[in-house]
Amino acid sequence: MSDFDLELKQLRKVYPGGTIAVEDFDLQVSRGEFISFVGPSGCGKTTTLRMIAGLESITSGDLFIRGRNFTHIPTEQRPTATIFQNYAIFPHMTVRENIEFGLMVRKLSSAEIKRRVDAMIDKLELGDVADQKEGVLSGGQKQRLALGRGLVTEPDILLLDEPLGALDANLRKSIQEELKILQRELGITFVFVTHAQAEALSMGDRVVVMNAGRVEQISAPFELYTRPKSPFVARFIGRNKIISGRLVRSDGTTAEIATEFGALRGVPSFSGGDAGNSAMAVVPSEYVDVYTTGAEAAEDGLDVVAGRVTAYDPVGQVAFIAVTLKDGTEVRLETYREKVHGRGIEPGSEVELRWRPERTTIVLDAA
């Protein structure tokens, strides 16, 4: 028996036309883990989910669920359940019949089926609409029905394909929380596909960032946010400030790049790396402080970049400030008010952006 609920080994999908949808996908998911797949549309996240579900054939590589190879086993024989973006409720069946449907093919007594269905209807608070059809259900009810219909079959893994995409923002937030609580309670592995990075970060125990059919990074949300491993992740996740330059040196724990604004230091996301390589310093917005030029710093050893304020809009606790650097690039910061130090800062002021170098990640440019 494997320790992993789900294991993907060199998963690859090539469409008949020759388009490569997914390549080199390796992943190991522990039992009860909530894993998010995130990336721009067309990055292969949904294709990967559908390969796990068996709805898309696997061109090469292997898929293991609890240690058993399921690469070529048809959908209906896989211990997974899938929640679709449009919910795919059976429109000609009542809520109860929808939930019963997956149990009918299993060798269960009718009493057992009734017990399980009743329990699921109770759990998801669908009692009022149990004998209704899809037409009268609200978005949230459809969402819960789709979830209940899958969960009642007691899958090893629940696959969710952008299940919150059709909901409005408020409902989305509350269902995110419900989903997370439900997943902890059940202890089932969830694979959750979304294109919204905030959703992926807040839901996942770990997040898989995909781009153009490849995995860019697999990390816990905080690490993904603070320590991106590639330029793509640095730009896609979080609100990072990015300054390009050339690598000067890197010893594995610290690195330095030369930029137009002077040397910047940080933690390298790579090992090795030759001097002169194109690289970038990535600083999460919330670690940046703004000072009037020449103001005394509270601590030593900060990295500094100078510029001129072009817009400043303090709104309560949050402040928006735009600073144009000397090469003309504009840095837009949405940050806490107390991160903007010194009085009299207004458009036209000369300021310095300062941050602690250990907050910076140095990422090599792929090019």
Partner 1 sequence: MHQLRSLRWILALYTALFVVFLYGPFVVMGILSFQQGPEGGPQFPIVDPSFFWYKHVLGFAPPSRVAPLPIGEALTRSLTLAFATMVVSTVLGTLTAQAFRTRFRGSGFVFYLVVLGMMVPGVLLGLGMALVATNLGIERTWWGTAFVLHVVYTYPFAFLVMLAIFNRFDKSVEEAAWALGVPPGRTFRKVTFPMIFPGVLSAMLFALTLSYDEFPRTLFTGGSEVTMPIAIYGTFAVEIHPNLFAFGVLTTLFSFSLLAVYGVLMSVSVRKARLRGSGIQEDLA
Interface positions with partner 1 (CB under 8 A): 53-55, 74-77, 80-82, 84, 86, 88-92, 94, 101-102, 104-106, 131-133, 135-136, 146, 149-150, 153, 159
Considering the complex, what minimum distance in angstroms separates the CB of residue 279 from partner 1? Answer: 44
Considering the complex, what minimum distance in angstroms separates the CB of residue 59 from partner 1? Answer: 17
Considering the complex, what minimum distance in angstroms separates the CB of residue 131 from partner 1? Answer: 5
Closer residue to partner 1, CB minimum distance, 159 or 267: 159
Closer residue to partner 1, CB minimum distance, 77 or 170: 77
Closer residue to partner 1, CB minimum distance, 151 or 209: 151
How far does Cα 72 stand from its chain's mean position? Answer: 28
Residue by residue, DSSP assigns 214-275 as EEEEEE-HHHHHHS-SSHHHHHHSS-EEEEEEEEEEE-SS-EEEEETTEEEEEEESSS---T
Cα–Cα distances in Å, from 160 out to 76, 163, 177, 183, 190? 17, 6, 15, 12, 7
Number of other residues whose CB lies within 10 A of the CB of residue 308: 15
**Cβ atoms of 233 and 217 closer than 8 Å:** yes
Query: 248, 213, 216, 212: which is closest to 229 by C-alpha?
Result: 216
Considering the complex, what minimum distance in angstroms separates the CB of residue 47 from partner 1? Answer: 14
* Residue whose pair of structure tokens reads 């770990």 in the numeric block: 206
* Residue whose pair of structure tokens reads 């949405």 in the numeric block: 334
Considering the complex, what minimum distance in angstroms separates the CB of residue 174 from partner 1? Answer: 24
- 169-186 helix and 139-151 helix, angle to the nearest 10 degrees: 20
Considering the complex, what minimum distance in angstroms separates the CB of residue 88 from partner 1? Answer: 4
Considering the complex, what minimum distance in angstroms separates the CB of residue 219 from partner 1? Answer: 29
Sheet hosting strand 68-69, strand order edge to edge:
20-30, 4-14, 60-65, 68-69
Closer residue to partner 1, CB minimum distance, 149 or 206: 149
Distance in angstroms (rounded) separating the CA atoms of residues 165 and 38: 13
Closer residue to partner 1, CB minimum distance, 74 or 316: 74
Considering the complex, what minimum distance in angstroms separates the CB of residue 49 from partner 1? Answer: 11
Cα–Cα distances in Å, from 70 out to 73, 191, 268? 5, 16, 38
Contacts of 223 (CB under 8 A, 6+ apart): none
Closer residue to partner 1, CB minimum distance, 84 or 287: 84
Closer residue to partner 1, CB minimum distance, 17 or 301: 17
Closer residue to partner 1, CB minimum distance, 188 or 209: 188
